[in-house]
Copies of this chain bind each other. A is one copy, B any other.
Amino acid sequence: MLGLLRKHGPLSRGELGKHCGLSRTTLYDILAELVAEGAVVTATSQDAPRGRGRPAETLTLNPDAGQAIGIDFARRGLHVAAVNVAHEIVGSASEPHDADLPWEERVALAERLVGSLTGAGSGALRLGALSAIGVGVVGAQVEDRREQHGEHGQQDEQDEPDPAPHPAQLLLRRRFGVPVLLDNNTRLAALGEAIWGAAAGGQDVLYLRLSHGVGGGLVVGGSLHRGAYGLSGEFGHITVEPGGARCDCGGTGCLETVASIRAVLDAYRGAGGRAADIPELVKAVRAGETAALTLLSGVGARIGEVLAAVCNAIGPSVIVIGGELTETGPALIGPIERALHDHVMPVSRHRVSLRRATLGEVAGALGGIALVLHESPLLSRYPAGPDLAEVPSMTQTRHP
């Protein structure tokens, strides 16, 4: 019923009956329940012809009900986004903060940012109508911390005890009183890009983020892939230089030791270049500086080789590359594309497309919302899959 109202807009009971084919009694029972729950509101149609009995009452989704919030607790900043009951993105906001900001203050900041979001036409977001929160956090390993979703919690064979809830989860649950689903924020960015971004509608998507760390995520059959122990998508720790530099993960020669922001800037300075940050490197690239172009060509080749290996393993249709390093543009993307082409199975070459991420820094927050829409029992009555992907893209222009 909610799906029909989302698809068709306001409908009378009679029209709903035609669409769903249910008996009048059953239909009225369901609608009464939805109205009582606050998910659906009634309105008297203004267009009804006068003098022909009482005007037909139409039903519409309650724009204040079933809202969902996504929050990305990044290392040095917060990103929030929200959707209304029709799964329209009503807004997003970001704010930087120190890396050592305590969780209590991060959550308070998140609450302020969420409060600043305004719905499309319906005024400020009504937190009383909130259904669930999807949260992304930093960290290589985010075990399955989801609450009351036993059927999704693929417990692996190792029978490890459930990990304790994340502080963000505890604090948000206490503050908002709704389920708080949590995952790695880079993986959530993958889900966001697969639903609303560069790979919108893609069922099998590989997402790579080149930022302070190098990470990623996989969407498999339209759903976020977590792997047996919550460590899927760690492309940054695939070895590219055996015996190479020490990596934060404890290994050596990982892609992250070559393609993270710090690694690239260090290598650039080592080659005689001068750049304190990515914008300065971008300037050098635009000026056609040889040291910068040569460096990015080598880095891109390593990235493309890793992408090709993962492509051969899992066969995605779309690869999305995001993160600040992609601001260097074709100087990096070109070499990535060439190495991907050279190393992916020839039969797969024309089947996989490489795209730059489009959601920017709010990708993780949007992915948090997607997580909620996919997994929350409160919202699972909504149709998922392709239909879910369609609607937000219609309203994406409202997104700042």
Contacts and interface: CB of A to CB of B under 8 A. Distances in A.
A48 to B, nearest CB: 40
Interface in A240-286: 242, 249-251
Given A233-B313, A234-B312, 15 more contacts: A154-B221, A156-B317, A157-B317, A157-B318, A203-B228, A226-B315, A228-B317, A231-B348, A232-B314, A234-B348, A238-B308, A238-B309, A251-B342, A310-B313, A314-B314
Nearest to A156: B317
B316 A228 contact: yes
A204 interface: yes
Interface string A292-332: 00000000000001101110111111100000000000000
B158 A315 contact: no
A200 B221 CA distance: 23
Given A203-B154, A228-B204, A140 B316 contact: no
Contacts of A222: 154
Contact of A227 (B140, B234, B249, B314): B314
Closest 8 CB pairs of A and B: A227-B315, A228-B317, A250-B346, A204-B228, A231-B315, A232-B315, A238-B309, A234-B312
B346 A156 contact: no
Interface of A: 140-141, 154, 156-158, 201-204, 218, 220-222, 225-235, 237-239, 242, 249-251, 305-306, 308-310, 312-318, 342-343, 345-348, 351-352
A346 B249 contact: yes
A315 B242 CA distance: 21
B318 A227 contact: no
Given A237-B312, A237-B345, A220 B225 contact: yes
Nearest to A155: B203
Residue among A201, A310, A316, A348 having the largest count of chain B Cβ atoms under 10 Å: A348
A348 B309 contact: no
A244 to B, nearest CB: 11
Contacts of A234: 312-313, 315, 345, 348
Contacts of A201: 157
